[in-house]
Amino acid sequence: MHHVLAILLTAVASAIAAWWGGKLGVQREAEKITIQRAIDRRLDWYERAVKTLTEYKKATLKAAQIVWSGGPEAAQAQQEYRELVSRANDVLNEGGLYARPTTITAFRTMNAELQRIMREARVHGPSASEPLQPDLKAVERAMNSAWAQLVKEGREHLGLEPLPDDQFAPGPSI
């Protein structure tokens, strides 16, 4: 009788241990999958943000030149630019989920600089004696700074060594 009871107790203990071990294994794998998905989403955001910021810069420089010239395509350029800014803001605002505070600060600084330049452009207008070029250079500097911070952080996230400052090539230039 003791043998049967010992066998039953061993079987019950083994079943409980197997169930518990299986449950812990499944939980651990689920956590790994969740973490990997978060890493993949963050990496995807870095890629989209770099592409979006490059497109945003190119469109900003192009639209500024077209609108400033006051040609017949200015209205169309403004509309296309507004649509691009909306899409760019959607991507860049996701930085609140994925980016480090330094990158978010770089985006805010870039936007503040763009707003300042827009206010100045409204004051001076295309007929002003000041040329447009310095304003576009300021736009470019603000966007390049945000782009460089984004790339730096993305490379860190991937475990890649940092690029030297002279290696950054953030898209089109004026």
Q: Indicate the angle between helix axes 101-124 and 2-69, nearest 10 degrees.
A: 20
**CA–CA dist 152, 127 (Å, integer):** 40
In a domain, residue 56? The reply is yes
**CA–CA dist 147, 143 (Å, integer):** 6
pLDDT band for position 133 (50/70/90)? very low
Cβ atoms 139, 117 nearer than 8 A: yes
In a domain, residue 123? The reply is yes
In a domain, residue 82? The reply is yes
CATH of the domain at 67: 1.20.58
60-97 burial, b if ≥16 CB within 10 A, otherwise e? bbebbebbbeeeeeeeebeeebeebbeebeebbebbee
In a domain, residue 160? The reply is yes
Mean pLDDT of 90-110: 87
Q: Which two tokens stand for residue 78?
A: 């403004």
In terms of pTM, does the model score above 0.85?
Answer: no
Residue with the larger pLDDT of the pair 118 and 172: 118
pLDDT band for position 173 (50/70/90)? low
Domain count, the chain: 1
Q: Domain range spanning residue 87?
A: 44-167
In a domain, residue 5? The reply is no
Looking up tokens 């017949």, which residue turns up?
72
141, pLDDT greater than 50: yes
Residue type, 62: K
Residue 107 backbone phi and psi in degrees, to 5: -65, -45
In a domain, residue 126? The reply is yes
Residue type, 5: L
In a domain, residue 87? The reply is yes
Residue 31 backbone phi and psi in degrees, to 5: -65, -40
What pLDDT digit, counting tens, does each position of 19-68 carry? 888 888 888 888 888 888 888 888 898 888 888 888 888 888 777 777 76
128, pLDDT greater than 70: no
